[in-house]
Amino acid sequence: YGETKHVIEKILEAEAVARPEMSVVILRYFNPVGAHESGLLGEDPNGIPNNLMPIVMKVRSGEIKELAIYGNDYDTRDGTCIRDYIHVVDLALGHLKSMQAFEKTGTSVYNLGSGRGTSVLEIMHAFEEANHAALPHRFADRRPGDLAEIFADPSKAKRELNWETTHTIEDAMRDTINFLDSAK
C-alpha cells in the first residue's frame, strides 16, 4: 500500500517535470478520525474494516465482539503502537488550503497530520470516555511490519499553507459518537 502511494507520487513528479506548466499537489494523509460535528456526515464502513476507528465503531455496535490490540510490548509510553490521527474536518480544511499551492508550477508535497502521536490505548480510552462505556478489548500478538510509532511533520503545510489542526482526539471521539447516535 505504502509502496503504491510512493510510485504514484513519483509518476506525478515526473509528469510535472515533463510538463513545466503543470502544477501537482500531493497530500499525504495520516490517520483520519472523527465525523462532522453535526452528526450528519461520518464513516460507516461496509464489511470487515482494517483501520482502528472503524473497528472501534463496530465493537460499539456489537458487530465485532472486541477490539484486538496488536502488541502491548512496544517501546512506547503504554506499550501500544502510536500513530498520528487527524480529525476529518481538519483534513477537509487542509484540502481547501492546499488549493492555493496550485498557483505555482511544479510539485508541492504536504503532510496532513497533527504532528502528535496517540497510542491505540489512548484512542480506546478517549472513545470510552466519550461513549461513557468500556470497550471490550484484548491484546494480541504484534502484526508483522508494524512500527512502534509514526507521525507526521506538518510544518511545511503550516508554513506554506497557513494550515494546522485545531481538533483534538477528544473532539474526534465526541463527533464519532454523535455521528453513530445520529445514524440510528
Show the cell assigned to 155.
510544518
Using CB atoms within 10 Å of the CB of residue 38, give its burial: 0 to 12 exposed, 13 to 18 middle, 19+ buried.
exposed
Residues 6+ away with beta carbon under 8 Å from 120 = 52, 69, 80, 81, 82, 83
Of 33, 38, 72, the closest CA to residue 55 belongs to: 33
Report which of 61, 68, 22 is spatially closest to residue 44, judged by C-alpha positions. Answer: 61
90 within 8 A of 172, measured Cβ to Cβ: no
Active site residues: 1
Joined grid coordinates for residue 125: 480510552
